[in-house]
Structure 1
Amino acid sequence: MSKTPKNAHKPRGRKRVAVIATGIGATMLLGAGSAAAANMDGQSDVFASGTASQLADSARAQADQQHKEALAKKKAEQRAKDSKNDRSSRDADRKTSAKKKPGSWTKPVDGKYELSAGFGKGGDRWSSKHSGQDFAVPTGTPVKSVSSGTVVKAGPNGAGDGSSYGNAIVIKHKNGTYSQYAHLSKLNVKAGQQVKTGEKIGLSGSTGNSSGPHLHFEIRSTPDYGSGKEPIEVMRSHGVKM
């Protein structure tokens, strides 16, 4: 019967230690790999989140820029349209004036109007009898020179005839008579300016002593208040139907 060597089991112990060490190393390596993988996943999430935020900011900035460009384009188109309408209005006024012969006469307003307070009538809006003929029209209605002539007065306070007239214009015509236009919301002419028959000189309004928008129109023998004539009769004498 053979004897068992004294060191017969030693290799097995070394193998066991090696296996354990190998297992520990594998565990540590696996743990490190898992940690690295977890760290990489965290970095990926942060990168993805940052990228999404940048894309969202870029999209908003692009949308804002497109909105601003659209508004600017719309404003430019509106300005061009307004400018075109102004030119068309001026061209129409010039054509209308060109059709009128020098010295001819026309109505002070076109379109729909109502003859309200007449010449010589009493009322609570003036201290004495009415000195002209009122044309009831909306504010902003174009007011035209009834005949060619020279502007001798234009301004607030009745152009010197009193604050009750508001903004007013007085024109001297070639036959020596004068026409006056009062309560205007806008003046388009100034003293010394030459005007043609039918030329737009201002816009109707309700300035001065006025209870509502209208044109106060007078025919005078002088440029000043107190020399008024019956305007409807004078206009009809010049072939104008009122």
Structure 2
Amino acid sequence: MSQRTKSRISGTSLLRTRAAALALGLGVSAAAGAGVAVAADAKSSAVGLPGSAAASVQQQAAAQAKAATQSKSKAAAKKAAAKPTAAKTAASWVDPVAKYKLSATFAQAGNLWSSTHSGQDFAVASGTQVVAAHGGTVVKTGGNGAGDGPAYGNAVVIKHSNGTYSQYAHLSRVDVRAGQVVKTGQRVALSGSTGNSSGPHLHFEIRKTADYGSAVDPVAFLRSKGLNL
């Protein structure tokens, strides 16, 4: 074999090696979006290389593709964990009664109230289970609206960890006492029609304090927690 032939073969091998290296470099940058395709590209680029070099190129490309796939999976899992779903949000607050119909609304005017309606009425049959809309500590219970006035009849007020209070009124029976810690969804009373009431229902309030006069729109509040009333 002549020196010129040897040089030509050597040059060709060098060019192929450089081409494979370039393909591998491109594969590195493409791995994040192409995944397993990198390994296939590297495999085709390695054709014509000596056995050991071709195997090395393919192994490195496969490792990069695997790393890229794992990285994407971890990123997706991290993103999902960081963003709470509606179901998780809703699970921290629940409807105070089940199978209800919304009746008198917050701030509604009428001759049944001294000014405007201070809560949201849930029309349900008398004796329906009333549950804590969120976990907390019972701060007031009993007749006379638990101290807020006879118009509320029997009532319960619960303080929650986020600084808000929930009130449940017109109850036929109270099942908790002041100072008792309750969980989300735990029964606290049975609905009724005590106090200034035109029929059986639950009067529900969200308050800034434990007392009358600090109520906010309870439906808007519960919807902000993920509930669909």
In the alignment, which residue of structure 1 is the partner of 2:95?
Answer: 107
In the alignment, which residue of structure 2 is the partner of 1:135?
Answer: 122
Structure-1 separation of matches of 2:176 and 2:152: 17
1:150 to 137, 145, 158: 137
Report the Cα offset of residue 167 of structure 1: 0.1
In the alignment, which residue of structure 2 is the partner of 1:190?
Answer: 177
Structure 1-normalised TM-score? 0.57
Structure-2 separation of matches of 1:138 and 1:115: 13
Q: In structure 2, the residue corresponding to 1:224 is in which secondary structure?
A: coil
- Report the residue type matching 2:97 in the other structure: V
Report the Cα offset of residue 123 of structure 1: 1.1
Q: In structure 2, the residue corresponding to 1:140 is in which secondary structure?
A: coil
Structure 2-normalised TM-score? 0.60
Q: How many residues align?
A: 142
% same residue = 65
Unaligned 5+ residue runs, structure 2? 1-87
Q: In structure 2, the residue corresponding to 1:185 is in which secondary structure?
A: strand
Report the Cα offset of residue 113 of structure 1: 1.2
Q: Which runs of 4+ in 1 moved over 6 A?
A: none
Report the Cα offset of residue 241 of structure 1: 1.2
Question: Is residue 209 from structure 1 mapped to residue 196 from structure 2 by the alignment?
Answer: yes
Report the Cα offset of residue 208 of structure 1: 0.3
Report the Cα offset of residue 127 of structure 1: 0.7
Structure-2 separation of matches of 1:190 and 1:197: 16
Q: In structure 1, the residue corresponding to 2:157 is in which secondary structure?
A: strand
Bigger CA radius of gyration: 1
Structure-2 separation of matches of 1:207 and 1:123: 19
| Cα offsets for 1:128-154 (capped at 9, x unmatched) | 000000000000000000000000000
Unaligned 5+ residue runs, structure 1? 1-99
Report the Cα offset of residue 220 of structure 1: 0.2
Structure-2 separation of matches of 1:175 and 1:209: 30
